């Protein structure tokens, strides 16, 4: 198969992904082989490619928002029939035996495997995954629209859940990329009032189009006090800015897997029972719940599609804020 291989992490400006031939993956007994149609490009891929996340497999094929069709079943795989359309996401597998898995918190598993990081992912024509960790994709989403739901969408959804936002509540997003442009649709569906703090007029415009009541620069202070805020941008300096905008008892959720250092700030910003919490991965239930809600709303994703061989260009565009909505690779050409 054709695939984009990362041999060693490097700045994306040096185009570190190599479009090349790679051996076809083979499904293990309870796994399925998927013919990849589309694979979403996530900021986490950027952190993998540039080495902000320490290398765990080398070389590795990035990509963890895979939409494709089941091509082959492992010996004991029963859940899907060949030809079924499925999604493979970041949480590739958990051990199901650690204290976190046993307590229903598999997102915090002690021995997790991650698609496109500790195992090969979807910047390729084929990928394998354990059938139990694969999602059914609701009918109403075309492949390219569905791809960004699988991480940007699911992580945004978990971030919303952890924010505790309720009907009539005020919520701010810091950074308005792939995750926020989906999460805002869910937040509005739940009846929240949304504020967007993000760099660049294009992202602000998209936020307003999607129903934000206000949009301003990344560290701007929204014109109303907030019940909750979610930082999707990987910028630690936004933490004090976001705390400043919260009401007493407000919740600040950090939605990214990597963030630049958080500067020190006065205790006053946190006092009055404000909370800061991070989001790590997701449970399969988050994913299933989100896909159901996304189909009900229905969520619309704005995507820019690149051919698989141009994955480096997609990552460069993501890094320099040139993607409005989400970038997606077409892995069939």
Name the residues that contact Zn ion, by CB under 5 A. Answer: 42, 44, 94-95, 98, 101, 109, 151
Q: Which of 79, 63, 66 is nearest to 146 (CA)?
A: 66
Of 94 and 204, nearer to Zn ion (C-beta) is 94
**Residue 193: CB minimum distance to Zn ion, A:** 27
Of 245 and 325, nearer to Zn ion (C-beta) is 325
Of 41 and 215, nearer to Zn ion (C-beta) is 41
* Local structure of 331: helix, strand or coil: coil
Of 42 and 91, nearer to Zn ion (C-beta) is 42
Between CA 17 and CA 259 the distance in angstroms is 23
**Residue 293: CB minimum distance to Zn ion, A:** 19
**Residue 231: CB minimum distance to Zn ion, A:** 15
Of 151 and 210, nearer to Zn ion (C-beta) is 151
**Residue 324: CB minimum distance to Zn ion, A:** 18
**Residue 144: CB minimum distance to Zn ion, A:** 16
Between CA 258 and CA 193 the distance in angstroms is 27
**Residue 159: CB minimum distance to Zn ion, A:** 12
DSSP H or E stretch at residue 252: strand 246-254
Are 94 and 105 within 8 A, CB to CB? Answer: no
Are 240 and 261 within 8 A, CB to CB? Answer: no
Q: Dihedral sign, CA of 112, 118, 123, 125? A: negative
Between CA 288 and CA 298 the distance in angstroms is 15
**Residue 308: CB minimum distance to Zn ion, A:** 18
Residues constituting the chain = 333
Of 109 and 210, nearer to Zn ion (C-beta) is 109
- Mention every residue, 6+ apart, whose C-beta is less than 8 A from residue 97: none
Between CA 21 and CA 1 the distance in angstroms is 6
Of 94 and 316, nearer to Zn ion (C-beta) is 94
The token duo for 280 is 């790590």
Strands 113-114 and 91-93: antiparallel
């Amino acid at each position: 198969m054709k695939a984009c291989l990362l041999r060693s992490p490097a700045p994306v400006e040096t185009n570190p992904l190599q479009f090349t031939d790679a051996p076809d993956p083979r499904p293990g007994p309870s796994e399925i082989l998927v013919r990849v149609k589309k694979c979403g490009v996530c900021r986490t891929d950027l952190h993998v490619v540039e080495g902000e996340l320490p290398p765990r497999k080398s070389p590795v094929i990035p990509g963890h928002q895979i939409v494709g069709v089941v091509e082959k079943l492992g010996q004991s795989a029963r859940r899907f029939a060949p030809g079924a359309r499925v999604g493979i996401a970041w949480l590739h597998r958990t051990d199901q035996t650690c204290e976190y898995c046993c307590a229903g918190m598999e997102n915090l598993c002690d021995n997790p495997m991650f698609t496109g990081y500790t195992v090969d992912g979807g910047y390729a024509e084929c990928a394998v995954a354990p059938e139990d960790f694969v999602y059914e994709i609701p009918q109403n989403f075309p492949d390219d629209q569905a791809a960004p739901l699988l991480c940007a969408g699911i992580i945004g959804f978990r971030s919303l859940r952890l924010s505790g936002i309720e009907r009539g509540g005020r919520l701010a997003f810091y950074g308005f990329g792939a995750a926020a442009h989906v999460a805002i649709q869910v937040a509005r569906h739940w009846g929240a009032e949304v504020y967007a703090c993000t760099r660049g007029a294009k992202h602000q415009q998209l936020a307003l189009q999607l129903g934000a009541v206000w949009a301003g620069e990344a560290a701007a202070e929204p014109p109303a006090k907030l019940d909750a805020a979610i930082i999707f941008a990987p910028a630690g300096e936004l933490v004090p800015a976001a705390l400043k905008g919260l009401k007493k008892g407000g919740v600040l959720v950090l939605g990214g897997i990597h963030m630049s250092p958080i500067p020190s700030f006065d205790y006053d910003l946190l006092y009055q029972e404000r909370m800061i919490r991070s989001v790590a991965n997701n449970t399969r239930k988050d994913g299933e719940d989100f896909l159901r809600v996304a189909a009900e709303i229905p969520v619309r994703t704005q995507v820019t599609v690149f051919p698989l061989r141009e994955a480096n260009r997609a990552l460069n565009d993501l890094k320099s804020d040139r993607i409005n909505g989400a970038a997606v690779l077409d892995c069939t050409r």
